[in-house]
Structure 1
Amino acid sequence: MTDGNTGTVKSVETMFEVIEVLRKRDGARVTTIAEELGLSKSAVHKHLSTLRNHRFAVQEGDEYRLGLGFFGYGSYVRTRYDVFRKAKPLVRELADETGEMVWLITEENGMGMYLFGDGGSLDVNVDSLVGSWRHLHLNSGGKAILSRLPEDRVADIVDRHGLPRRTEATITDPDALFDELETVRERGYALNLAEDMTGIHAVGVPIIHRDRVRGALSIAGAANRLTEERLHEEYADRLLTAVNDLELNLTYR
């Protein structure tokens, strides 16, 4: 059955809602899912049985969790991005050199996704962020990407996804965002001064290949180490050099 208002298939929409509950809760019982989504237990059970039969869900007692069936598809999709394959060793090199977190982010449908990361010398579980979505205005990599998109596309992204606040420093005014993106275009890099997470600073540079923004690299760390001055005078230049090498690699190898 198709939802006449959205043009989507209702049963498929419900399946994705079930999957999201399993992800968000790190596993759940049929009753819990049914109550959260306002569905009958029999309907939830059918969706879970379908997922389990195709290895996208695993049943442990009376609880279900997401299965490894998703892993193969996720790995396949990520490796199709040549920017991931080319940037992966560079991310590790930068993390080893700086000791800070280094991220590769890309944009899809107006949101940013962490494709790869390395925690450097920090005791950080980067896997918890890899594969997660972020609003692009919140971090340096996202703002770097936005700075190289047409202004009407940025306006559409803001209209669609909004500018939610994460900290007191988050940009939530569209005019302020467009002003900052102009600054980013002029200097070639974006800063994140505790806009996504209190106490974390970062610098990001867009990756451009064949006149198209392919993503961004960023270096992030504690604000007391990555001061605004150091981001401007040290880390920005290092990142610009690294991205220039990456762009050449994407073009000629």
Structure 2
Amino acid sequence: MADQQNPNAVKTAQTTFSILEELKERNGATVTDLTDAFDLSKSSIHNYLTTLEDDGYVMKDGNTYEVGLRLLDLGGHARHRERLYDIAKDEVDELAAETGELANLLVEQHGKGVYLHRAHGDDAVKTDSYIGQRVYLHNTALGNAILAHLPRARVEAIIDQHGMPATTENTISDRDELFSHLEQVREEGVAFDDEARLKGLRCVAVPIVNNNDTVEGAISVSGPTSRFQNERFREELPEKLKSVANVIELNITYT
């Protein structure tokens, strides 16, 4: 389901960001590619790209335009303004080192999850995720840990806006089933992703909840199903994550 459009949105600005998103999704595109994707003439697309290139937001390689590194400057600035990043970063790094796996820190913005930090242990697997990536909340342990601590009306609004697409056969794509699952996550204080977003990958996540019982984000550990089994998957990693989350929550309160 596409994001709902704001009737007060400035069309030119909206198109500019849509072009940047298209360049990201295509991993680079030509003027012709973008003309086919948008209801605009080649000259109009070229004007947008030239403006973005002049300001460093787009780079040109031959006939192909790509997202420029100036956007990394904006993203880096946004991340460092997040108080949770400064408080949780070292704890997530230590979590990765101790488990040997991939550790993650995620927050919710505009109904999607955004990776604020990721740390790789010695045995960590490579995945398609990266810092700054926006992901659905319904098909990840991190997202479920956050959704479980949001008001039901807010979760309903997120589903209405972004939908519940199935990315694997294990994805929960039914609304009632999701709310039943979120109730269990809330009661147990831990969320499990059993190949719900990526085949072969499991994940354990817990929420970060501040002193006002507001969820700030979530942390997780991810790894291959071959290593995430039985007691380690269901008991050891959840307890470790809860311990780390407790430290972060205390630091949020008293820093």
Q: TM-score range by the shorter chain?
A: over 0.9
Matches within 5 A, 1:75-224: 75-122=76-123, 124-125=125-126, 128-211=129-212, 212-224=214-226
Write the distance in 2 (CA, Å) between the matches of 1:5 and 1:103: 32
Per-residue CA deviation, residues 37-83 of structure 1 (Å, 9 max, x unaligned), is: 23211001110111112111122332221212211111110111111
How far did 1:236 drift? Answer: 0.4
Aligned partner of 2:43 in structure 1 is 42
Aligned partner of 1:66 in structure 2 is 67
How far did 1:118 drift? Answer: 1.5
Q: What one-letter code is carried by the residue in structure 1 that aligns with 2:223? A: G
Contact 2:101 2:125 in 1 (8 A): no
Q: What one-letter code is carried by the residue in structure 2 that aligns with 1:78? A: R
Aligned residue pair count: 250
Write the distance in 2 (CA, Å) between the matches of 1:161 and 1:243: 28
Write the distance in 1 (CA, Å) between the matches of 2:125 and 2:86: 22
Q: CA RMSD in A?
A: 1.7
SS in structure 2 of the partner of residue 104 of structure 1: strand
Structure with higher RCO (Cα < 8 A, 6+ apart): 2
Which runs of no fewer than 5 residues in structure 1 stay unpaired? none
SS in structure 2 of the partner of residue 28 of structure 1: coil
Write the distance in 2 (CA, Å) between the matches of 1:157 and 1:220: 24
SS in structure 2 of the partner of residue 136 of structure 1: coil
Contact 1:193 1:228 in 2 (8 A): no
Per-residue CA deviation, residues 198-224 of structure 1 (Å, 9 max, x unaligned), is: 111111100012322110000111112
Contact 2:113 2:134 in 1 (8 A): yes
How far did 1:124 drift? Answer: 4.1
Contact 2:19 2:34 in 1 (8 A): yes
Contact 2:79 2:116 in 1 (8 A): yes
Aligned partner of 1:251 in structure 2 is 253
Write the distance in 2 (CA, Å) between the matches of 1:135 and 1:228: 27
Stretch moving more, 5-14 or 195-204: 5-14
Write the distance in 2 (CA, Å) between the matches of 1:69 and 1:97: 34
SS in structure 1 of the partner of residue 220 of structure 2: strand
Per-residue CA deviation, residues 74-100 of structure 1 (Å, 9 max, x unaligned), is: 111011111111111111111111111
Write the distance in 2 (CA, Å) between the matches of 1:137 and 1:131: 18
Write the distance in 1 (CA, Å) between the matches of 2:66 and 2:203: 34
Aligned partner of 1:238 in structure 2 is 240
Q: What one-letter code is carried by the residue in structure 1 that aligns with 2:156? A: A
Q: What one-letter code is carried by the residue in structure 2 that aligns with 1:25? A: R
Structure 1 residues 110 and 5: alpha-carbon distance in aligned structure 2, compared to 1, 3 A threshold? closer
Contact 1:78 1:84 in 2 (8 A): yes
Per-residue CA deviation, residues 137-163 of structure 1 (Å, 9 max, x unaligned), is: 111111000011011111111121111
TM-score, structure 2 length as denominator?
0.93
How far did 1:126 drift? Answer: 6.2
Contact 1:201 1:227 in 2 (8 A): no
SS in structure 1 of the partner of residue 65 of structure 2: strand
Write the distance in 2 (CA, Å) between the matches of 1:228 and 1:40: 57
Which runs of no fewer than 5 residues in structure 2 stay unpaired? none
